[in-house]
Structure 1
């Protein structure tokens, strides 16, 4: 609405108040990467073999090497099998030494791991052999939490406000993130991870609306990308934290407990005045705007405040409005596909960090470091070339790089890692563009619902990514072929989207016309 745009201009489109707000919004995103990828470092592969201590009853003086030679078969490479053992017998030791054991079976008494290694999620819950799939299932359940959180907190934020929904998410992530460090078995860990995922997703989608609704047109991209640089820094810190803390429970505490320090947000995080206006809560919006103006050392003309009213009779948007309105229907469908493609490439590369042949901590550090230039470059690229072109090009590049990876020989680990890091850069830039683009395409009364729905599609891709990775047992190229082909196809669809660069945010569903046909703002913006 024009009145609100005038007020933003009067109080300062990106003054001290907004800069402090962006800093506050960035802090949770600094902690979120641990929840996203921390589990990768809790399940680092360890050498293991079946527990064959049964033979100690008849051979208590056997050395460990002798015990393994008698009870564990060797593979074609000459190493002891990790998932099979010779079937126990009730013979004496002399008979076993004379005749040997021939019948094999799966491990029936658990596994033995290097005693000098600190406990990991893998060793404590035996995520090996047939149980290794539980790790992939756990990652998918976490992604399912992201899916539910995007939908639930997206709609909740449009209903009760950005601020209360944001505070609820911070509380949930703090409490359940810490609780994950004390679980007694893997299934409870999965359940808690689901709840944490919902909170993480809620924080990420709500930050989009708060960041974009508090600043003027020319600063929207900068505001959102600056908050997202915290996510990139968090990605790098995960590598250092995981390298320094190898005990998975202590690592979980170190990655989750800092969220409790953000409880002071209850007193400092403001509501979106634009959302308050669309809900008819004009007096509350005026108070928030006057506080912001005072911090920016500006004064709001009383006559301007008096003109602050919803353009029409206040009416809440409905989820179905995204599909009833023709222009919103197109935007919703294409952006949902774009988020799906962003996510399938992003998480496909992120979760494959252990498969690239180099040190996983250095690879994760590189993955995090490359997100900084990816997000910062978007500040300029989106203003120079517009949202549509940047979205299409980065999706196309991320897909092509994944496809190129399928043709690189497995022994070329350095080349694979370099290409994967570049792919992470382009997929991160595509993801960042989607956040900005979606916030501008959906109207205020449906912004969180629309972004939440798109984010839900990204989480569907996130659920599928850990389940696609194990397909490499059939052919190593299959996962990357899937991760690459989808972004390439969706990049072509994005050409059909309207451009939103330099256009004022819409507040209601309006008529069936794309944003570029709506009235543009004054030159002062």
Structure 2
């Protein structure tokens, strides 16, 4: 019986059509880093003091330094307190200078920031002192949006198709991403960012499905990881963009408006032929397969194309199959755990960029560069060592780096940053591995549901990661100790998963043949495309989507 991979092999496993598709899927991911971690650069901490303009009523000619000296207490290091002030009194200036003020209170009239400072999220919405935690809370709200996006768009993509979900996600991200630049209140900002995050999540998991379902087995890592490389390049662009544009509203516009240029996808983005077949839409599947073959300058043998028919329509998979089927339950639980710990360490390092002691723009540029290297190297690592070993070892490496950072003194910023960069390399490569691995482990009929559930686990970790940073007030090593120990545990669990290198994708939930029997590889263990002769031999077979 012919498998769908034989049709992909006939039209070309990674021809011009697939390369064009990968380019289309890469463009949204080029813009996504701004939404994912852009807030780090619009909430940069600046010196601030309580607004003590009340003293101007009795001392209008006081200099700024004299005003601070009279109305703001100093800390143990001799610097002005940023979150407290002397309580206002109705004395004359001479009495204030002669006797001084003693009673203190929290800032009651707002804060004063450097006059040369461009408007930032921190200065406009006063995210300082008692409101400082709102920054991390808003990041958690964003991660909640990613969670909701995975929960909504994963199953929806399995139900209505990959193409419409991707188009809807692009529209939502464009509209609400630009809307963030015009919000009047911080809580509205958080709500809009949450909606943007749902769209970002939809784009990530839907691009994964299209990227894997249109290419041959040996090219799947390359297709997925090329899009991830664009995500890394987007991080480097983010560093330069945020360095050059310090006004947070202008930065939001610059980072969000280009998404509107992708509306032309309505006319050029194809649906997954594999998904169409599993839904019994055979004529539509034939049309897109023939179009792909034409662009690749290949011809699908008429006899082979004629076998693309359903005797009975494919039985749709259910979200419950992920737990009802024994072989899927194990995969689902372990991959969800892997995504969870991977997300925890990835965002733990990414959102901590301001705490490593070096210039944040330079550190972000280094993070983007090392992430690009990680995504590229992952293409070869997955091919040489397989999915299971890469996933497990990379998680272990990321965790060990964080555990070492937890023990590094605070006065060693260079050592801390170098270790963080190594950890970011491992976490990024591991994240890429998990995308490829998950797409290969879950059947087509519930692939988006499985990836969506794994992504939901990752988003729960994303919600928790900013909140874990709040534990730093008890001891600076606590957050990194948590970020490090979790991936070590997850990495060990990954050794229990089956290997899928070179295996044909499974379409239904029945389990199918073992991965080892479906491998397309040579004696070297390196994945290679099926031979042309195989297609001719399969002409006597029969494709069934039942």
Give the TM-score normalised by structure 1: 0.98
Q: For 2:105, what is the secondary structure of its paired residue? A: strand
Residue 521 of structure 1, CA deviation: 5.2
- Residue 341 of structure 2 is matched in structure 1 by 341
Output aligned runs, 1:21-32, within 5 Å: 21-32=21-32
Q: For 1:496, what is the secondary structure of its paired residue? A: coil
1: CA distance, partners of 2:519 / 2:313: 23
Q: For structure 1, which segment, 183-192 or 4-13, has the greater mean C-alpha deviation from structure 2 after superposition?
A: 4-13
Q: For 1:2, what is the secondary structure of its paired residue? A: coil
Deviations 1:280-333 (A, max 9, x none): 000000010111011001112222111013586422211111000001000000
Residue 517 of structure 1, CA deviation: 5.8
Residue 471 of structure 1, CA deviation: 1.1
Deviations 1:165-217 (A, max 9, x none): 00000000000000000001100000000000110011001111100000001
1: CA distance, partners of 2:521 / 2:222: 20
Asked if structure 2 preserves the Cα contact closer than 8 Å seen for 1:387 and 1:501, the reply is: yes
Asked if structure 1 preserves the Cα contact closer than 8 Å seen for 2:127 and 2:135, the reply is: yes
- Residue 352 of structure 1 is matched in structure 2 by 352
- Residue 515 of structure 2 is matched in structure 1 by 516
- Residue 203 of structure 2 is matched in structure 1 by 203
- Residue 327 of structure 1 is matched in structure 2 by 327
1: CA distance, partners of 2:240 / 2:58: 47
Asked if structure 1 preserves the Cα contact closer than 8 Å seen for 2:279 and 2:313, the reply is: no
Residue 277 of structure 1, CA deviation: 0.1
2: CA distance, partners of 1:438 / 1:294: 30
2:422 pairs with 1:422: yes
1: CA distance, partners of 2:329 / 2:301: 39
Asked if structure 1 preserves the Cα contact closer than 8 Å seen for 2:501 and 2:519, the reply is: no
Q: For structure 1, which segment, 302-311 or 206-215, has the greater mean C-alpha deviation from structure 2 after superposition?
A: 302-311
- Residue 486 of structure 1 is matched in structure 2 by 486
Output aligned runs, 1:53-64, within 5 Å: 53-64=53-64
Q: For 2:132, what is the secondary structure of its paired residue? A: helix
2: CA distance, partners of 1:290 / 1:514: 28
Q: For 1:289, what is the secondary structure of its paired residue? A: helix
Asked if structure 2 preserves the Cα contact closer than 8 Å seen for 1:327 and 1:514, the reply is: no
- Residue 177 of structure 1 is matched in structure 2 by 177
- Residue 127 of structure 1 is matched in structure 2 by 127
Q: For 2:495, what is the secondary structure of its paired residue? A: helix
Deviations 1:34-78 (A, max 9, x none): 001100000001000000001111111111111111110011111
Q: For 2:411, what is the secondary structure of its paired residue? A: coil
- Residue 399 of structure 1 is matched in structure 2 by 399
- Residue 40 of structure 1 is matched in structure 2 by 40
Aligned length: 524
Asked if structure 2 preserves the Cα contact closer than 8 Å seen for 1:499 and 1:515, the reply is: no
Deviations 1:111-164 (A, max 9, x none): 000011110000000000000111111100000000110111111100100000
Output aligned runs, 1:83-482, within 5 Å: 83-310=83-310, 313-482=313-482
Asked if structure 2 preserves the Cα contact closer than 8 Å seen for 1:3 and 1:304, the reply is: no
2: CA distance, partners of 1:313 / 1:346: 42
Q: For 1:44, what is the secondary structure of its paired residue? A: coil
Q: For 1:423, what is the secondary structure of its paired residue? A: helix
2: CA distance, partners of 1:165 / 1:255: 22
1: CA distance, partners of 2:401 / 2:285: 47
Asked if structure 2 preserves the Cα contact closer than 8 Å seen for 1:143 and 1:197, the reply is: yes
- Residue 534 of structure 2 is matched in structure 1 by none
Asked if structure 2 preserves the Cα contact closer than 8 Å seen for 1:229 and 1:375, the reply is: yes
Deviations 1:348-382 (A, max 9, x none): 00000000000000000000000111111111111
Cα RMSD (Å) = 1.3
2:69 pairs with 1:69: yes
Asked if structure 2 preserves the Cα contact closer than 8 Å seen for 1:500 and 1:515, the reply is: no
Q: 1:219 to 1:412 in 2, by over 3 A?
A: same
Asked if structure 2 preserves the Cα contact closer than 8 Å seen for 1:393 and 1:491, the reply is: yes
Which sections of structure 2, spanning at least 5 residues, go unmatched?
523-528, 531-546
Asked if structure 2 preserves the Cα contact closer than 8 Å seen for 1:3 and 1:307, the reply is: no
Asked if structure 2 preserves the Cα contact closer than 8 Å seen for 1:27 and 1:230, the reply is: yes
Q: 1:312 to 1:327 in 2, by over 3 A?
A: farther
Deviations 1:409-467 (A, max 9, x none): 11110011011001000000110000000000000010001001001111111111111
Deviations 1:485-509 (A, max 9, x none): 0000111111110010111100010
Asked if structure 2 preserves the Cα contact closer than 8 Å seen for 1:13 and 1:215, the reply is: yes
Residue 408 of structure 1, CA deviation: 1.0
1: CA distance, partners of 2:518 / 2:403: 42
Asked if structure 2 preserves the Cα contact closer than 8 Å seen for 1:153 and 1:202, the reply is: yes
Asked if structure 2 preserves the Cα contact closer than 8 Å seen for 1:498 and 1:514, the reply is: no
- Residue 11 of structure 2 is matched in structure 1 by 11
